[in-house]
């Protein structure tokens, strides 16, 4: 599923086809906001958290959020256009064709207006340099008495880029139970958790596949997607909470390596 690292790779793939190019054709399905035009120049392609931003003339920025199953792809111009009901965006330039599929949210906003979803995001954890102190301060401001660590990690206004995979994986490496309340952990524990998530996102930016277990491991994740399988560290069975049971998203953890806080 798309997370901050996925969006970074998408931006890298799209940049040669779009950035600095003139639009020769384009098509949108269910676009909210002003439409870019044929003849516009594309000034930049950027990933910010879990959003991909494409800036056209007149400071018009196309925002796409890929949700659970969305994707961006590129194709040569001599290939037939896809007849796919999931196609949401088609942009052509002299350098090629960019295609967006199954994105649940596409909209345009004027750069700097403060109206775009990306304008409300916290620091992007997939950047090389992240102000962890700022993320920590946002964590304390945003968390209520009932907010769990699992919920906090997915709050993009605290820090951008973490999705369901990195949520479970960062909590495992930090040794923290996912349903521990934010106000029950120290600033040092919270800073360590965010630093781990930052490191995992940066390491995965340039990989063709996502891995949090390190080089040489046959397994790509510690706990995510491993319900009932043995924990790679202690051999206990990995636990699982389905979406809607305790939080809005599903969660994986090791009961031994991530004990409930006492």
248's CB contacts (< 8 A; 6+ apart) are: 151
- One DSSP character per residue, 124-192 reads BTTSS---HHHHHHHHHHH--TT-BHHHHHT-TTTSBS--HHHHHHHHHHHT--TTSBGGGS-HHHHHH
Task: For residue 205, give Cα distances in angstroms to 33, 88, 184.
Answer: 30, 25, 32
- One DSSP character per residue, 230-251 reads BPTTT-PBPEEE-TTTSSSS-E
Per the DSSP assignment, residues forming a β-bridge with 240 are 252
For residues 254 and 177, is the Cβ–Cβ distance under 8 A?
A: no
Positions marked active-site = 2-3, 50, 249
For residues 48 and 160, is the Cβ–Cβ distance under 8 A?
A: yes
Please give the angle made by the CA atoms of 44, 47 and 52, to the nearest 5 degrees. 85
């Amino acid at each position: 599923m798309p997370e901050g690292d996925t969006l970074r790779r998408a931006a890298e793939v799209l940049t040669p086809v779009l950035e600095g190019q003139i639009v020769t054709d384009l098509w949108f399905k269910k676009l909210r906001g002003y439409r870019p035009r044929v003849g516009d120049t594309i000034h930049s392609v950027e990933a910010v958290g879990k959003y991909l931003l494409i800036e056209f003339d007149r400071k018009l920025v196309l925002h796409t959020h890929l949700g659970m199953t969305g994707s961006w792809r590129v194709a040569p111009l001599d290939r037939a256009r896809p007849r796919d009901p999931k196609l949401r965006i088609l942009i052509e330039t002299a350098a090629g064709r960019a295609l967006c599929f199954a994105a649940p949210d596409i909209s345009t906003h004027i750069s700097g207006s403060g109206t775009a979803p990306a304008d409300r995001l916290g620091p992007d954890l997939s950047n090389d340099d992240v102000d962890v102190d700022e993320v920590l301060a946002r964590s304390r401001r945003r968390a209520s008495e009932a907010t769990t660590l699992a919920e906090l990690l997915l709050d993009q206004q605290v820090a951008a880029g973490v999705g369901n995979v990195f949520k479970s994986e960062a909590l495992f490496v930090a040794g923290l139970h996912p349903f521990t309340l934010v106000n029950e952990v120290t600033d040092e524990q919270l800073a360590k958790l965010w630093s781990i998530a930052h490191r995992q996102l940066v390491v995965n930016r340039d990989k063709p596949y996502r891995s949090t277990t390190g080089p040489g491991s046959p397994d790509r994740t510690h706990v995510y997607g491993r319900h009932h399988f043995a924990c790679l560290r202690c051999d206990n069975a990995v636990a699982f909470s389905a979406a809607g049971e305790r939080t809005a998203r599903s969660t994986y953890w090791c009961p031994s390596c991530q004990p409930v806080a006492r």
